[in-house]
Amino acid sequence: MLPKSLIQLLEKHRDKIEGTIEDETDTGDGYWVYLRPGWCTDDIGLHTIHEDSAQEVVKAFRYVQPCTCSSCKRANGT
Ligand SMILES: [Zn+2]
């Protein structure tokens, strides 16, 4: 079960998050967030957020921005 903060993040940003947030904390691998085509992290072209804690995921998500990499451009047909 995802922590409340991540459920809220997911609800609020369904337009940016592909599918669900994957919780791998039981194996010590943290949380994985896959962004939809057209969005990336603070690094242009990086479409996955991987953090150890829910708090860090929420923090990293603040820097999600429109992505202008070639694969996003292709996906959006521009
Ligand atoms: Zn991209």
3-state secondary structure of 49: strand
Quote the pTM value. Answer: 0.91
Question: Strand order in 31-34's β-sheet?
Answer: 22-23, 31-34, 48-51
Rounded to the nearest whole angstrom, what is the distance from the C-alpha of residue 21 to the centroid of ligand 1? 18
Q: What digits encode the pLDDT tens for the residues 17-73? A: 999 999 999 999 999 999 999 999 999 999 999 999 999 999 999 999 999 999 999
Distance 52 CA to ligand 1 centre (A): 23
Q: How many angstroms is it from 64 CA to the middle of ligand 1?
A: 11
Angstrom CA distances, 46 to 59, 63, 65, 69, 71, stand at 16, 12, 10, 9, 11
CA of 8 to the centre of ligand 1 (A): 24
Question: What are the structural domain ranges in the chain?
Answer: 4-75
